[in-house]
Amino acid sequence: MNSGVCIAVFDRCIADYHRHNAPETGQSCPYPTGSFEAQLYAKSWIDCVQWHLEDEIRNPDLPAERIAELKRRIDACNQRRNDKVERLDDCFLEHFQDCQPSPGARQNSETPAWLIDRLSILSLKLYHCAEYCADRTRSPAAAERAAQMLALANQQRLDLARCLDELIEDIRCGRRYMKVYRQLKMYNDEELNPVLKQRRQAGARN
């Protein structure tokens, strides 16, 4: 469990996804079922799908029906993304179950899995920045801007990878500890979202 493993899996997944460049293709994970790498690959695949749905929904010429469909798919991706992050945190909790915080250990506000989430998105950004830089049809100004974005994203990923590795090492050594708060997505819950609750109750009466 370290940033190098995460980045390698993310880069492989992103390359696999873009061979088809279609969410409907589905994923064929090359890692053993249930492994940490398989969890990372599934997380990255969701991010790839959502990235391209977010691109499409910004088309101002889309009909309302297509916008509504995309919005529902993006919401579903967000829920799956949160679920995967929580599953990754479960892996870390299990991995660190025998690690005891030292006296004075500090709690980290961000768990390792949420750092990994950001690392996954950055890996996608790097892929597309590199794609933009390779596009020779762009104007010199656009090419320069893409090159600056690529350099910044590379530096950001290096910094984030270092932060992740430092956090993992600090938890292992007892200098910091992780505490997981489950994401309470109230708007997806039929009991907590008043609109969904009312709709369900109306359906039950009919």
Q: For 131-140, what is each residue's pLDDT tens digit?
A: 888 887 878 8
Mean pLDDT of 35-63: 92
Phi, psi dihedrals of residue 205, rounded to the nearest 5° = -80, -25
Assigned token pair, 14: 């992103």
What is the pLDDT at residue 146?
83
- pLDDT per residue as tens digits for the range 152-176: 999 999 999 999 999 999 999 999 9
25 has a pLDDT exceeding 60: no
27 — pLDDT class (breaks 50, 70, 90): low
The amino acid that residue 167 corresponds to is: L
What is the percent of the chain where pLDDT is above 70? 86
The pLDDT of residue 89: 92
Residue ranges in the chain assigned as alpha helix (H)? 3-20, 36-57, 64-95, 112-134, 140-173, 194-205
The whole-number pLDDT of residue 190 equals 66
Q: How confident is the model at residue 114 (pLDDT cuts 50, 70, 90)?
A: very high
Listed in order, strand segments (DSSP E) in the chain are 106-107, 176-177
C-alpha neighbours within 13 Å on the C-beta side of residue 104: 0
CB 17 within 8 A of CB 184: no
The reported pTM is 0.83
In this predicted structure, what is the pLDDT of residue 195?
A: 67
Percent of the chain with pLDDT over 90: 58
Among left, alpha and beta (phi > 0; psi -120 to 50; other), residue 104 is: left
**Predicted local distance difference test score (pLDDT) of residue 26:** 61
Q: What is the pLDDT of residue 116?
A: 96
Confidence tier at 122 by pLDDT (50, 70, 90): very high
Of residues 21 and 94, which shows the higher confidence score? 94
Q: What is the per-residue pLDDT across 67-91, written as a single tens digit (0 to 9) for each?
A: 999 999 999 999 899 999 999 999 9
Q: What is the pLDDT of residue 198?
A: 72
Question: Can you say whether the dihedral through the CA atoms of 145, 151, 156, 157 is positive or negative?
Answer: positive
